[in-house]
Chains A and B, each alone.
Chain A
Amino acid sequence: MKFKYLIILSLNLLVACQQAIDIDKKLNLLPTINPDYINVTIPRNIAPLNFMIKDDINGVQVILQGEQNQLIANGKNDIRFNLNKWKKLIDKEKTLKVTVSVKKNNEWIQYRSFHWKIVEDEIDPYLSYRLIEPGYEVWNKIQLAERCIENFEENIFADNNLTEGSCMNCHIYNQQNPSQSMFHIRGKHGGTILNNKGKLRKLKTKTDKMISKAVYGGFHPGGRYAVFSTNYIIPEFHAEGSKKLEVYDTASDLAILDFETNQSITTPLLTDSTNFDTFPVFSADGKHIYYCAAKSVSVPDSIQKLKYSICSISFNDVNGEVGSVADTIWNARLTEHSACHLKTSPDGKYLLFTEADYGTFPIWHREADLRLIDLKTGKVDSLKNVNADYSDSYHSWSSNSRWFVFASKRDNGIYGKPYFCYIDKNGKAHKPFVLPQKNPAFYDFSFKSFNIPELSIGPLPFDAMDIEKVYWKQEAESFSDKGI
């Protein structure tokens, strides 16, 4: 009997907790919330958008009002939604009206409501990124992590604690599929780690004809090839306060690696020393390679004249041959800007890239913004709705081509965070939102930058201990040049 009363009492308390409070004052202003989730478009499978109130307050209540259901959440100065209740609500609704009320000086103030538009197009549920402090030449702890964006679970799949502190970077998937992915580990026992359905290979990619190991690259959709840039990379340090670092190449070429024969394919066109060629990717159908190209200039003196165009060249995946003529897709001379970080959408419709005033390393260029080329019409969308004051770069598509993720330094110019952006069926980009965290103050206390965020349709089939074993115990496979 006592137990029954206890249950009734608990239920009453629960209901009481979820009741809307009496409002003393209504303001026709939007609340200042952190992160900025005001009027954003979200996928149905996203984790709760927990947020905090920037003002000094004594309490906050948020009502999420859908067409059928409602969710009320309370907090002291932040809101953390219950994951299960969130999922139940978001599953059934198309739009949520978000009403924020705060307790300030003993009165409850209600702000103007805003909306969260929920779209049917889901985003790939996993996101990988590199966690690194945004330093200069010295690095400390580097981790490659995988986050399930449907909840808050994060898994470290590579950690330089286990690999002699070596630098590790550029984890990318083939077509957002975790059964094929790769990244580089530098250091004595390092190499390019290639994951094929969980079987890990360590590759020594440098050949005689390549000027360096493989650097930036992308998979051929068939999985047999990957195209890479090989670069001599130099960092310089700006003296003036608003700039930090300039990273440029003194030479850069392209090479295609054949993972079946362990051969590197180069052509004179893509290894011309009077040109800088970098950031190559395959087209969605694998028949073209898109890359950035610039006439070499004297660096660093003429760095501001170094502007990269977007070019394309044909590729035959049957015999591994590269075409002999390159087309210019986006001309740096006409735009007087520089392109980098090319990413083709999996449906083949779009090419997303970063545009900066000059150079090849936009993450430290405040003006660097994302641009979207419609590959059918050649029309360039400046993505005004998406870009912000500081660098927006390092983007990756969701497998359905309706979402992309990018690293943005919009909040303080230094620490990059992953933002998600929806592209609707008309090609319109919606306001992006930052990766939600369980503790909404997470980013305030984090020292990490989220580098190279990449979406994937499932979890990776290996873990940090597998990488440790490959690093220490596995021999690296060599590559040789294919005669042309």
Chain B
Amino acid sequence: MKNISTNIIASIIFGIIVYLFFTLMYPYHLHYQEQYQLFLITGDYFLSYLQMPGGFSDYMGGFITQFYFYPSVGSIFIAILLVSLQQLTWKISQRFNKTPLYYPLTFIPSLFYWALLCNENYLPGGLVALVIVMMFIYFTTQIKDGILKSVLSLLFVPVLYWLAGGAVVFYVLFSALMILFLSTRRTTQNIFIVVMQVALVISLPYLAKVILIQYPIIKMWIGVNYYSFPNTFPFYVGGIILLSISLPIIMNTLPEIKSKPQLILAIQYLIIISAGIFIINKSSDFDKEEVMAYDFYSRMRQWDKVIAMADQKAPSSPLSVSCLNLALAKKGLLAEQMFNYYQNGTGGLLPNFKKDFTIPMVTGEIYYQLGFINTAQRYTFEAMEALPLYQKSARSIKRLAETNLINGNQALASKYLKLLQKTQFYKKWATAMYKAMEEPQILMRHSEYGQLMTHKIQNDFFFSEGEKDMMLGQLFTANKKNRLVYEYLMAYCLLNKDLNHFMQYLSLGQSIGYKQMPQSFQEAFIYGWKMTPQKDQKPIPSFISNKKIQSANTFLSMMNLPNAKEALKKDYGNTYWYYLQFRN
């Protein structure tokens, strides 16, 4: 009794650790997954999933994913599923061996699945499918041998195929393993049932293909979307399911040790905990978590948080740096502070378009804030189109609603808003926007939409990915008070080490009305001025401080020394000069 209580406490603690991990250490992975689905609360949406083998598991996975909108809620579902898997493994093993001595071993499948879930491409629907298979196995083991058990064992195969797709194979495999390893189960009737189950399992995907003709046969075999990329065969998931069903049988073969059971339990827990820490640590990708955090805060317009993150640890990946630069620009600090942080070229300002679902989503955010509404719309649409499982993205749909509202296409905006009204967590926003759409002055008063509507491009041109400075120039020409666009234009020249255009465009900034010329502009100007042949040099303008000129002189005198890169890093690492000379 004491052991059982300890075991239950262990399971509860396991659940709490899982919960805390995803809530506190890994929340942006959950946000990341959530944004790439559009879970509609409609009957048609539910039925569309039920048409596919394993569609129920995918639907439940999607149902859970929608709660990732709030990681503290979404994590509860992950914890419940992983604890359920552990408990089912335990309950099934109890059918063969009642001793609680090896209880810690039942955590192994859950630990492995937890490790898989640390990869943003593994979807919760797969875990749902596994839990469903284990539930059916548990239910089957609870029925006493006889006709009912035989009939249900056969009946469960198509039902399970429908609920959990190809994972039904493991249900049948469990029946086979039982016959193989338990002599009491080796009866003619049981062997016949397993043969029939195997026949059913083999024929079901082909039968499904007859109805669902447009899907590849591999889809009929696998069913559930375990992984974001359908062409990747879920070997790891298969391994974990295999482990889950064989563990109860393996546990039955382990010796029953009566002396010092507490010590054996403690040793097992120690090993499991150590291995668990090792596995989860190896599986977690906190670099990705950081990029996802930058993207999340940019998407939520929490610019201060983006800058605070960078102050704690400077970002280095182009996507994180582009989010930081956007945050700096939104706070009016880009020209002043951009070189206080690591800069990785124009790719960290406006990343190039790529046919995938992450980069265009992040870059689209920047174009949106700049006022390239059509480009933002295109990027978000393309990102959604690139989703490999053909699902829709709530984030994209929301952005499409916004861009169409700003562009004045209310009919299209209302199509997207209607869809969002059928979701749990975007409903409120969509309804508010729907009302706002009826009264344009509400939209015009909106701090963001109103400004973007005012700055809307009036004179059409073709957007050219290869001429971003020209595009920024076009946008700025349309509204010469748009500081955000101006600073992006200048930053683009600086990061591109294009001082000619920088010098050309500098005078355009007069309309911005800087009280003091930003640091990076002063630095770039001095450098450009110093590099101009003396005969062409005009007097250095008053907006350049004497201190800056002295500092430039020191830098220029030292920059060609043998170990200048290291020597100058401390005092000049956050200057444009240093970027210009030493950053590739």
Q: Which residues of A contact B (CB under 8 A)?
A: 133, 135-141, 143, 156, 159, 161-162, 236-244, 246, 300, 411-415, 439, 444-445, 447, 463-465, 468
Contact = CB atoms under 8 A, between A and B. Distances in A.
B474 interface: yes
Q: Which 10 A-B pairs have the closest CB atoms?
A: A241-B407, A240-B460, A159-B214, A412-B412, A412-B411, A156-B214, A236-B462, A138-B385, A138-B382, A140-B385
Nearest to B418: A444
Contacts of A246: 462
A161 B462 contact: no
A447 B416 CA distance: 10
B156 to A, nearest CB: 29
B187 interface: no
Contact of A138 (B373, B386, B456): B386
Interface of B: 40, 42, 44, 213-216, 219, 355, 372-375, 378, 381-382, 385-387, 390, 392, 406-409, 411-412, 415, 418-419, 422, 456-463, 471, 474
Nearest to B458: A240
A240 B374 contact: yes
Contacts of A415: 415
A445 B419 contact: yes
A238 B419 contact: no
B214 A411 contact: no
B374 A135 contact: no
A161 B214 contact: yes
Nearest to A466: B213
B213 A464 contact: yes
- Scoring A137, A237, A415, A464 by chain B CB atoms within 10 A of each residue's CB, the highest score goes to A237
Nearest to A301: B462
A136 B382 contact: yes
B377 to A, nearest CB: 8
A137 B382 contact: yes
- Scoring B373, B385, B387, B412 by chain A CB atoms within 10 A of each residue's CB, the highest score goes to B385
Contact of B374 (A141, A156, A161, A238): A238
A136 B415 CA distance: 19
A240 B407 CA distance: 9
Contacts of A411: 411
A80 B406 CA distance: 36
Given A135-B382, A465-B213, A237 B418 contact: no
Contact of A237 (B378, B407, B457): B378
A237 B462 contact: yes
Nearest to B416: A412
Contacts of B409: 241-242, 412-413
Contact of B373 (A162, A241, A464): A241
19 contacts: A133-B385, A137-B355, A140-B385, A141-B390, A161-B216, A236-B462, A237-B378, A237-B462, A238-B461, A239-B463, A240-B457, A240-B458, A241-B407, A241-B408, A241-B456, A242-B409, A413-B411, A445-B40, A463-B213
A468 B216 CA distance: 9
B132 to A, nearest CB: 25
- Scoring B378, B387, B458 by chain A CB atoms within 10 A of each residue's CB, the highest score goes to B378
B214 A464 contact: yes
B387 A140 contact: yes
Contact of B460 (A156, A159, A243, A414): A243
A41 B152 CA distance: 56
A412 B415 contact: yes
Nearest to B465: A237
A248 to B, nearest CB: 11
Contact of A241 (B219, B355, B374, B463): B374
Contact of B462 (A138, A140, A156, A238): A238
Contacts of A244: 374
A156 B213 contact: yes
Nearest to B377: A244
- Scoring A156, A412, A413, A463 by chain B CB atoms within 10 A of each residue's CB, the highest score goes to A412
Nearest to A463: B213
Contacts of A413: 409, 411-412
A413 B377 CA distance: 14
Contacts of B382: 135-138
A480 to B, nearest CB: 35
B463 A135 contact: no
A444 B375 CA distance: 25
